[in-house]
Structure 1
Amino acid sequence: MYADFFGFKQSPFSLSPDTELFVNLQGHQRCFELMTHVLESGEGFLKVIGEVGTGKTILCRKLLRYLETEAQDNYHSVYVPNPMLSPIGLYRAVGKELGLNLQQQQDTDALLSHITDRILALADSHRSIVIVVDESQSLPAQTLEALRLITNLETEDRKLVQVILFGQTELDTLLNQDRFRQLRQRITFAHRLTALKAVETKQYVNFRLSRSGYNGRPLFTNKAIKQLHRFSNGTPRLINVLAHKSLLAAFAEHSSVVTPKHVKTAAQDNGERHALPLSWILTASILIFLGVIAWRLL
């Protein structure tokens, strides 16, 4: 809606995990480098923990893109986006990602045998399996144990299957159960994502604006950035939501910069008291947008 007004080629603060908008902030870049290091060193399990909205999904997508492009000669990636699966469901999902048709198979031992044969065949071509599980705090206990069984395959010098678990902090609670002590021992590395600092919030906002085609003067004032960091607590997903609504509020006023007032309006609409309804902003924005089009046609 406001793309033409601000000169964007795409939405800078979409909630979709677009890897083209991945910001190489210190914490996220360090996490990505850790993941690639763990894979190259042949370690078994890696755990990436973070609160809701701290950037786990976009890191997960960036890793998958790396595995499917730059590292495709060395790895075969298996992505499990929905962990709410039974052991049979997990084995079928893994088998499908490995190019097997196991949908009619009902026996877990037979499923695991087919998967094992495929993994060994890939190992003969010098490719390791990387299983990436998103939202892994939702893994049922039996399915988590089934996942561990897949990772038993190894040679004298390397693992044939590596697993990276992305999850919220509840994943630690799940893994701390006594029955998962064997699995805990296999998790050789872990990384915890944290909220952005104020200076990182500014870098985050400006990078995404630039990647989206904006090349004018600073769009968010320094005070607006400080407000954005305060209301979002440095959580990337909330930064996206509030930045989008702030741009909408600025567009509704035909303002070429985003001020603290616009950020406050966005925060109010996002749950604060005395909120300015977003419908008002949208209505005003549409009227202005239609007015600009009509003026151009005259």
Structure 2
Amino acid sequence: MSYIDFFEFKEHPFRITPDVEFYFTSETHSGSFESLKYFVGSDEGFSTLIGEPGTGKTITLRKFINELPKDVEYAYILFPSLEPEDMFRAVLEDFGYKIEQGVSKNTLFSGFRDFLTDKKKQGKRILLIIDEAQNLPIETMEELRILSNLETEKEKLIQFVLAGQPELADKLNSQKLRQLKQRISLQTELSLLNLQEIERYVVFRLSKAGFNGKYPSNKFYKKLQNITKGNPRLINLTMERALMAAYLKQSSFLVNEDIETAAESLKLNEQTTAPTETNSNKITYLLVAIIIAMAGLLVYQFMQKQPPVETKPTVIKQEPEPVKDIIVKPKPTPKPKQAEEPVIKKKSTVKKGYVITDNLNLRSKPTTKEKNILMKLNKGTSVIVKGNVGKWIMVETLSDTPVIGWVYSDFILIPE
């Protein structure tokens, strides 16, 4: 049994893959989605969608693509770290344009213009969507600007949506891309969820997956906000681990302790995204340190120039102690050294662990340097924790024929 069965979910409520069935319409996501719909219905050339990692750019794009009008044909490019000519060819292939061997770039450009013109005559609109666009080289982004020159006297032949992290905005603000920046008519940005939206987000996903239990308290969501800062991807990861922690305790209620266990497992804490010092603060600290060091040096030099103070030595008279007989004991013969065995820290009580990754190797020894795999453990498998050596944990399976072996600690969730 896994936590999915325990809570009687119909499907995973906090899967991190961009499933549009679980698309949550917060204020920021709803606004971005509507802006994209407006853009594709306009005659503008470029639109951007900016957001920190995990804020929901990809799922917003998938939702947008699923609801495109029937007269819109699109190409979707992911991980676009391509040089200009390779990017151009990738775009043409995604639109279904046949590329012959040995054709020059100018010939391709001219043929693609004819292709777009024919589509326009058929009443079709052409849209190019590029995700993770912050990875585009400067030269490749200039190639997109050149492609945007493909237009008739009255309208554009192709539109572009560039989605990416804040580094995309920084790149577009550079001097080299000022011409491209001037062509971006619509800019949207995804922000983090606030406390009320976090609660609605969690309730929405739990109910969508078929949850019939009692929902967490307000303090639970406040703790979740402190740890995730309202980042949807971090919320998904934390909530999945919290559900695992509750399942291991056989508890149908989610409490703050489950969030803390999840955060520890994910190596998150409430200071994960604490603001960093500004350069001005760092300079201030440096100046203070220099002043303190100079003051210490002046005090030291002043003390060195002072004349020494004469003091009379104090003489302490002691009676000589009587000489005792000296007994020389023979040195014991050293015992031969034996090979050290790993010390296993045994647990005083039986503790259960929970496998949090698929196909986890159960090994006969705490090492990966030799072929010692006993079996594979599936995600969600419960095991008994026997002890540990460093980062390796000895576990025992709960199958009809128990197997004892070693697994790496990063892939086991052990509630406190």
Whether the TM-score (by the shorter chain) exceeds 0.5 is: yes
Structure 1 position 106, deviation (Å): 5.4
Partner residue in 1 for 2:354: 281
Percent identity, aligned pairs only, is 37
Secondary structure, aligned partner of 1:281: strand
Partner residue in 1 for 2:193: 196
Question: When you count strand as a share of all residues, which structure comes out higher?
Answer: 2
CA distance in 1 between counterparts of 2:100 and 2:82 reads 14
Q: Which amino acid aligns with 1:282?
A: V
Structure 1 position 285, deviation (Å): 6.0
Partner residue in 1 for 2:96: 99
Aligned length in residues: 282
Structure 1 position 103, deviation (Å): 6.8
CA distance in 2 between counterparts of 1:188 and 1:285 reads 48
CA distance in 1 between counterparts of 2:15 and 2:32 reads 22
Cα-Cα RMSD: 2.2
> 1:205 and 2:202 equivalent?
yes
> 1:10 and 2:83 equivalent?
no
Structure 1 position 82, deviation (Å): 2.1
Partner residue in 2 for 1:110: 107
CA distance in 1 between counterparts of 2:112 and 2:55 reads 34
Q: Which amino acid aligns with 1:124?
A: K
CA contact (8 A) 1:57 1:134 kept: yes
CA distance in 1 between counterparts of 2:95 and 2:209 reads 36
CA contact (8 A) 2:75 2:91 kept: yes
Deviations 1:128-157 (A, max 9, x none): 111100000000111111111111122333
Secondary structure, aligned partner of 1:280: strand
Structure 1 position 83, deviation (Å): 0.9
1:44-193, aligned counterparts within 5 Å?
44-67=45-68, 71-72=69-70, 74-102=71-99, 104-105=101-102, 107-193=104-190
Secondary structure, aligned partner of 1:34: helix
CA contact (8 A) 1:92 1:103 kept: no
CA distance in 2 between counterparts of 1:112 and 1:168 reads 29
Instruction: Rate the CA distance shift 1:96–1:207 in 2: closer, same or farther, 3 A.
Output: same
Instruction: Rate the CA distance shift 1:62–1:105 in 2: closer, same or farther, 3 A.
Output: farther
Deviations 1:28-67 (A, max 9, x none): 0110000110111221111111111111111111122222
CA distance in 1 between counterparts of 2:233 and 2:14 reads 9
CA contact (8 A) 2:227 2:268 kept: no
TM-score normalised by length of structure 2:
0.64
CA distance in 2 between counterparts of 1:207 and 1:75 reads 31
CA contact (8 A) 1:49 1:171 kept: yes
CA contact (8 A) 1:88 1:106 kept: no
1:227 aligns with one of 223, 228, 239: 223
- Which structure carries more relative contact order (alpha carbon 8 Å, separation 6+)? 1
Q: Which amino acid aligns with 1:208?
A: R
Question: Runs of 5+ in structure 2 lacking a partner?
Answer: 270-351, 357-378, 384-396, 401-416
